[in-house]
Amino acid sequence: MESLEAEIAGIALVDHHVHGVVRGEVDRGEFEGLLTESDRAVPGWMTQFDSPLGFAVRRWCAPVLGLPPHASPEEYLTARESLGSGEVTRRLLSASGVGRFLLETGLGGGLGVAEMAEVSGKPVHEVVRLESVLEEVARSGVPAAELPSRFREALAVRSADAVGLKSIIAYRHGFDFDPEPPGDAEVVRAAGSWLRDGGFRVSDPVLLRFALWAGVERGLPIQLHTAYGDPDLELHRCDPLLLTRFIKNVEPRGVDLLLLHCYPFHRNAAYLAQVFPHVHFDVGLAINHTGARSEAVIAESLELAPFAKVLYSSDAWGLPELHHLGAVLWRRGMSRTLGHHVESGDWTAEDALRIARMIGRDNAERVYGLR
Contacts of 149 (CB under 8 A, 6+ apart): none
Q: pTM value?
A: 0.96
pLDDT at 2: 80
Claim to verify: residue 318 and residue 186 sit in the same structural domain: yes
pLDDT at 109: 82
pLDDT at 121: 96
Distance CA 153, CA 160 (A): 11
Strands laid side by side in the 222-226 sheet:
13-18, 98-104, 124-129, 164-167, 222-226, 257-261, 279-281
Claim to verify: residue 230 and residue 285 sit in the same structural domain: yes
Q: Which of 166, 160, 156 is nearest to 17 (CA)?
A: 166
- DSSP-derived letter for residue 62 is G
Claim to verify: residue 134 and residue 231 sit in the same structural domain: yes
Claim to verify: residue 74 and residue 155 sit in the same structural domain: no
136 touches 154 (CB < 8 A): yes
Claim to verify: residue 53 and residue 156 sit in the same structural domain: no
**CATH of residue 223:** 3.20.20.140
Claim to verify: residue 18 and residue 33 sit in the same structural domain: no
Q: What are phi and psi of 27, to 5 degrees?
A: -85, 180
pLDDT at 107: 86
Q: DSSP letter string over 320-365? A: HHHHHHHHHHHHHHHHHHHHHHHHTTSS-HHHHHHHHHIIIIIHHH
Claim to verify: residue 298 and residue 269 sit in the same structural domain: yes
- CA distances for 46 relative to 135, 223, 285, angstroms: 37, 35, 23
Claim to verify: residue 233 and residue 296 sit in the same structural domain: yes
Q: Using the 3D structure, point to which of 66, 83, 100 is the last residue of a domain.
A: 83
- DSSP-derived letter for residue 159 is T
> For the chain, what is the domain count?
2
> How many other CB atoms are there within 10 angstroms of residue 189's CB atom?
15
The CA-based diameter of the chain, rounded to the nearest angstrom, is: 65
pLDDT in tens, the chain (371 residues): 789 999 999 999 999 999 999 998 999 999 999 999 998 988 989 999 999 999 999 999 999 999 999 999 999 999 999 999 999 999 999 999 999 999 999 988 899 999 999 999 999 999 999 999 999 999 999 999 999 999 999 999 999 999 999 999 999 999 999 999 999 999 999 999 999 988 789 999 999 999 999 999 999 999 999 999 999 999 999 999 999 999 999 999 999 999 999 999 999 999 999 999 999 999 999 999 999 999 999 999 999 999 999 999 999 999 999 999 999 999 999 999 999 999 999 999 999 999 999 999 999 999 999 98
Q: Using the 3D structure, point to which of 83, 104, 129 is the last residue of a domain.
A: 83
306, containing H or E segment: none
Distance CA 231, CA 227 (A): 11
Claim to verify: residue 58 and residue 68 sit in the same structural domain: yes
Claim to verify: residue 70 and residue 171 sit in the same structural domain: no
Domain that holds residue 60: 27-83
Claim to verify: residue 161 and residue 39 sit in the same structural domain: no
Q: Using the 3D structure, point to which of 47, 62, 83 is the last residue of a domain.
A: 83
Distance CA 219, CA 368 (A): 11
pLDDT at 283: 98
Claim to verify: residue 286 and residue 181 sit in the same structural domain: yes
pLDDT at 371: 81
Q: Which of 134, 188, 141 is nearest to 166 (CA)?
A: 134
6, containing H or E segment: helix 2-9
